[in-house]
Chains A and B, each alone.
Chain A
Amino acid sequence: MPHTPEPDARRAWISVLAKAPPAQLAGLMPDLAPHTCLRPPEIGTVMVQGRAGGTGARFNLGEMTVTRCSVQLACGTVGHACVQGRDKDHARRAALADAMLQTDAGPELEAGVLAPLRHAAAAARAARAAKAAGTRVEFFTMVRGEDQ
């Protein structure tokens, strides 16, 4: 039974699925539920844009490889994916998960796939941030007396 998910929730899970390491996603979701491919996995690029000065006018920085895919479940629910890189299985799995998350299978997938992915991503981010924090410089300044 398809639901209409909150756009923010869908936005968030599409992002989690896209950013997941393909092998990890495949490990959490080994079997693919029956589906038809509306758009078979297709490799292409997205032009990444930046802004002059970080905040100013947009400019084209360069492209990145992406793979996109759209699938449909038997109940008619459609799922989309656009993931970084050239892994077609990743794109198909992410699209399928997007579709299933909009159905009654959602909560199960949320707990079994999204939660572990979120957890792993947060852990990886925290580990990297901790390493960076370890290289943060702690200055101490000598008192020279000129302010007295």
Chain B
Amino acid sequence: MFFATDALVIGLRAVGFVALFQAAGAALFLALYEKQLASVPADKLRDFARVTALVALIAAVLHYVLTPARMAGDFGSTFDPALESLLLRSSSGTAHIVRVVGLAVLLLSLDRASKLNTYAACGGAALALVSFALMGHTVIHPLRWILAPMLLIHVGVAAVWLGALAGLYVAARETGTASGALVTRFSAHATWAVPAIFVCGLVMSVTFVRSFAELATPYGAMVLGKAAGFAALMALAARNKWQFGPRLAAGDAGAVLALQRTIRAEWVLIAVVLMATAVMTSLYAPEHLEGSFAPEHEAAPAAH
């Protein structure tokens, strides 16, 4: 049964996921690569990160406020004290508080470039990303001690990837072929870091989806969809690394627009994967965790 409250709350979660990853990732990318960025693209990336941090913050707060309404399937229950209390006392309540604090710190520390702001932004980004490991299916799983670090690496690297795409796009647009050195440097680092997304995702998938048969469940379909999205992303990233990076470094102006096109495609693909993940994990749990709620409602015998 799908309610209007589901559409709104899950929609907010999906938008919030993309905005949070973008803001946290851009802040981390700035901390790692600001020295290789010219001041104009760095400032534009900082502005973009600030806007997305604000969007993520608003989405997180609205999501939290409206979750009691989704619990009851009725907007009239938005301020139901019993449901508010249930949410606040749950791991989801703690995670939301950590997320909101992290995003607020991130937002406030992105107003201008300074060493203190960089540290604060990294702290805010870290808190926002850690919030993912404080709620959800990993929290109630008996193998949480493995899943939590895997999830943190998974979301951390994915966030830096999304943040880097915005950074590389702005650098290519503002500085043209001069961005070649940055693209080459980031691609070299990504070659080592991005596979971590796959490895951690694989470990979590094997833990959650325990048999090939479970791949046919909605949760299994999400895992397969994410794997397909990741494969497509790797193909685009390889094109950046092996084709556009060297062309930019060689001063080929024609590579600038081509790189921007590929980056846009990568960004959209990551955003779709993030939004689909937000939607599916709101509606489904892994089969064995759903099991605690029972497999199916027993119908009356046919000859009643």
A in complex with B: no
- Chain A residues engaging chain B, CB cutoff 8 angstroms: none
